[in-house]
Structure 1
Amino acid sequence: MITCFLRYEVDPDKLADFEQYGKMWIRLVNKLGGTHHGYLMPSEGASDVALASFSFPSLAAYEQYRKAAATDPDCQAALAFHEKTKCFRRYERSFFRPVFE
């Protein structure tokens, strides 16, 4: 299993747009074979950081998702939504593997 962890720098004035963007990707990751673990939105105080994570059974499955997402019309619509709203400024992506007992 591989888990992708995302850290976003969001526009605090566009949190509703970013939440809508996140909901699009939750559905899309699940549709394309992953398990989305949800988004963590800024809550108390001034913050411009949001987090998200999702998992795939393997790195190969994640790579297949990336290939499918590149041509999926719903994924392209989600990317266009970000381009239109600019609801986040940048993001960082890291990969982890879980360790279980």
Structure 2
Amino acid sequence: MITCHLRYIIDPHKLAGFEAYGRLWIRLVEKFGGKHHGYFMPSEGTSNVALAMFSFPSLAAYEDYRKRSFDDAECQAAIAMNEKDRFIISYERSFFRPVFDDDQGIKRAP
């Protein structure tokens, strides 16, 4: 399993637009076989940082999602939202391997 962590710098005056964008991507990631863990909006403290996390069974499955998303009309419409309203200033994408206790039944590489 691979988990993608996104750290966004967003326009704090356009939170509603970014939240609507996030709600779309939760469904879209799951449409392509991923498990979305949610978007995390600013609350207390920093007002311009938001986070998102989602997982795929493997890096290859994530790469397949990325490839297929470029040709998907719903994904392109979500991207167009930000291109029009510019609520995302920048973002960083990192990948992690989650660790669970043995009761989760997840196979791990040695």
TM-score when normalising by structure 1: 0.96
Amino-acid identity (%): 68
Relative to structure 1, the CA distance from residue 61 to residue 40 in structure 2 (aligned partners, 3 Å threshold; closer, same or farther) is same
Consecutive unaligned residues of structure 1, counting only runs of 5 or more, are none
SS of the residue corresponding to residue 42 of structure 2 reads coil
1:45: Cα distance to partner? 4.5
Which residues in structure 2 correspond to 1:32-43 (within 5 Å)?
32-43=32-43
1:90: Cα distance to partner? 0.4
1:99: Cα distance to partner? 1.7
CA RMSD of aligned residues (A): 0.9
SS of the residue corresponding to residue 43 of structure 2 reads coil
Partner Cα distance (2:76, 2:3) in 1: 22
Residue of structure 2 in register with 1:47 after alignment: 47
1:42: Cα distance to partner? 0.5
Structure with greater Cα Rg: 2
Partner Cα distance (2:33, 2:26) in 1: 11
Residue of structure 2 in register with 1:67 after alignment: 67
Residue of structure 2 in register with 1:5 after alignment: 5
TM-score when normalising by structure 2: 0.89
Runs of 4+ aligned residues of structure 1 deviating over 2 Å after TM superposition are none
Partner Cα distance (1:33, 1:46) in 2: 32
| Segment of structure 1 superposing worse, 43-52 or 24-33 | 43-52
Which residues in structure 2 correspond to 1:17-28 (within 5 Å)?
17-28=17-28
Residue-pair matches, total: 101
